[in-house]
Structure 1
């Protein structure tokens, strides 16, 4: 099949969506499929990624609030691309304008909405959560739920990458939802990359000895990631137990994060690590991953940490919570620094060495992207074959 992914949030310097789509481009040929990604870019351009894999860039303006990303200017440009590409199956990777364009395209190919984003959790729940319950916020944003239900009625499939998001979508009235968790690339992350010398050096740079607990935070510096809250939690836990925090990442909130850390000697800020082997070594050398975002649909970072042999400390909502529970880690009340601090202390008191050994023993069972793609492409094939039979 020719599978066309209309991917609004694919960008050369993007985050988890870019990583995932790059993997899908590389994987399609092994399953006998051609993968074409339609993405907003600087100009019309075709970027060949390998046999049966390419990106078709469409000129698009930059987003005003995050210059890393662009947005499709209109539905007509997406319709024109789909008419030209003649897909056997279409996927939309954002529930906004691109999803509306794919839904309204007059072509006969079946289509799926892949929920890479959870806008309510990333924005509405975060903005209004301090003053209103989720039930009240959902009522206030009923227009968005109506929008999702309309999309659901026009798509053959809505793919959720986590159990928690699938449950919320079903509760919101969507009927086409299936859960297909993502996974990690085989062979990249492993406890075998653990380096006790690197661990000791990172703790030394945090002003601590090797008897302290080394927590790793990894991700974009963006408001929904809640790094200031994570810093506060680790410092509160550090009053009771020696804790060092290494934050790896960058982004539009970098200056805010730096100001919040201030001169704290127990927090080490590192620039984004693009060298995958170096990142795998860093992750495996920590004692646990700590995450602050309750809006993750899957949380690839947490999956990579599990594959590296780390327990995960995460909010009790969103995709990261699944990883925390499955890794033998800890969950805490979302957006609550005090609760997060208590989770850090609980994990330390349970025995970091023992939990690490158990997490390393389980690491090989972390779901791989191969399993995700096998399920995804099989579901697309079944729908496309059914559509051909019906025709």
Structure 2
């Protein structure tokens, strides 16, 4: 098949969507498919990534709230780009305006909306959850639910990577939901990468001896990641056990996060590690990963930790919670620093060896194979109907 992904939020500066797209471009052709990404950018450009893989960039305005991104502003031009590619199957990678544009494209190809974002959890539930129930918030945001339900009718599939998101959308009346959990990069995130010397060095950075506990956290420095809550939770747990926390992240909230750390020598904010092997080694060398965001559609950081055999401490809502199942970690009440502190202590107080977890084995190749097989079935069914 020729699969065209209309990806509105693809930034060269990194992020989960970029990682996903890069792996799709690499794995899709290996599975026998042609992959084309249509993305907004500063200029018109076609970037060939290899046989059967390319990025078609359309000149577009910068996104005013985050200049690392662009947005599609010309629906007719986007439709023309889809016409020119003549895809067998079309994806949209954002539930915002670009998805509506793809839904209105008059082409015959079947299409899927891949939910790389959960706006209700990232914004509405986080902003108002302390004051209102989710049911009340949903009623207040009925216009957005109407938008999602309309997309469910416009697309043959609404692809979710977590069971919680799929269930919530289906219960909200969004049609055609489908569950396809993601996986990790094969051969990279392995328990064998655990390195006692790296662990010792990280604890040294935290001004702690190697007998202390080492937590690691990974992600953008943005509000929905709830870094202040994570920092407060670790600081509270540290009153009972010696704990160091390494945060790997970059973003616009750096100053806010440093202020929250307030000079605590046992909590360190480091820049993201771009070397993938080095990053996997850092992750595998921690005693646990802690995550604060309940708005994850999958939570790649937790999946990568699981693949390394590292237990996770995650909120009880969103895609991150899936990775604590089967004894692979502990959950806490989302957004509650005290609950998170108690979860940290519960996990780190277990007897030696009790936190050993089976490494996750699902890879991104498994994910794309299952997803593209479903697309192939949809295409065949459409041909029969025609």
CA-to-aligned-CA distance 1:161-187 (integer Å, 9 cap, x gap): 111101101110122001000000100
Structure 2 partner of 1:382: 377
Q: 5+ residue gaps in structure 1?
A: none
Counterpart Cα distance in 1 of 2:170 and 2:251: 33
Structure 1 partner of 2:163: 163
1:369 aligns with 2:364: yes
Query: Map of 1:128-167 to 2, 5 A cutoff?
Result: 128-167=128-167
Structure 1 partner of 2:257: 257
Counterpart Cα distance in 2 of 1:306 and 1:135: 33
Counterpart Cα distance in 1 of 2:37 and 2:346: 44
Q: Is the Cα contact below 8 Å between 1:38 and 1:55 reproduced in 2?
A: yes
Structure 1 partner of 2:226: 226
Counterpart Cα distance in 2 of 1:366 and 1:128: 37
Query: Map of 1:1-391 to 2, 5 A cutoff?
Result: 1-326=1-326, 328-351=328-351, 353-356=352-355, 358-359=356-357, 362-363=358-359, 365-391=360-386
Counterpart Cα distance in 2 of 1:234 and 1:316: 17
CA-to-aligned-CA distance 1:109-133 (integer Å, 9 cap, x gap): 0001111110000011111111111
Q: Is the Cα contact below 8 Å between 1:306 and 1:327 reproduced in 2?
A: no
Counterpart Cα distance in 2 of 1:290 and 1:301: 9
SS in 1 for 2:76: helix
TM-aligned CA deviation for residue 77 of structure 1: 2.2
Counterpart Cα distance in 2 of 1:183 and 1:326: 17
CA-to-aligned-CA distance 1:330-356 (integer Å, 9 cap, x gap): 1000001011001001111223x4134
TM-aligned CA deviation for residue 366 of structure 1: 3.0
Which has the larger helix fraction? 1
TM-aligned CA deviation for residue 325 of structure 1: 2.3
TM-score under structure 1 length normalisation: 0.97
TM-aligned CA deviation for residue 327 of structure 1: 5.1
SS in 2 for 1:151: helix
Change beyond 3 A, Cα 1:326–1:298: farther
Q: 5+ residue gaps in structure 2?
A: none
SS in 2 for 1:240: coil
Counterpart Cα distance in 1 of 2:55 and 2:162: 27
SS in 2 for 1:281: helix
Counterpart Cα distance in 2 of 1:385 and 1:318: 33
Counterpart Cα distance in 2 of 1:169 and 1:231: 31
Counterpart Cα distance in 2 of 1:46 and 1:282: 35
Counterpart Cα distance in 2 of 1:218 and 1:194: 17
* Equivalences, count: 386
SS in 1 for 2:19: helix
